[in-house]
Amino acid sequence: MLLALLLCYAGFSALCLSMDRHHGELLHRKPSPRRRLVLRLGGWLLLLVSIWPAVHLAGWSRGLVEWCAVLMLSALLLVLLLPYRPRLALILAGAGLLASPVAAFAVF
């Protein structure tokens, strides 16, 4: 489930960065239309890919329920971090992307 959590958090962070307000707060500039599109597509792709480890480990019935729980947990973590520690939210997303290959090897 760690891999699903890391991918969900990174996906929500990318979707968050695709918005002008959050991109400006975190990176101190407005995103270009191309960057906004890449972040939006990347975020949705990460959220879709995050279903795979949950279903792979627990099967379709229990895996989808656990994936929904991980989805809500990662969204809650991002929503709680953004107002108080926005830089930490960005650092956690980057660290999660870097740690996800290690978590992927733990799945097998």
For the cut 80, the answer to whether the pLDDT of residue 26 exceeds it is: yes
pLDDT digits (tens, 9 = 90+) for 30-63: 989 999 999 999 999 999 999 999 898 889 999 9
Q: Where are the domains of the chain?
A: 2-100
The answer to whether residues 12 and 43 touch, using CB atoms and an 8 Å cutoff, is: yes
pLDDT at 108: 63
99's CB contacts (< 8 A; 6+ apart) are 6
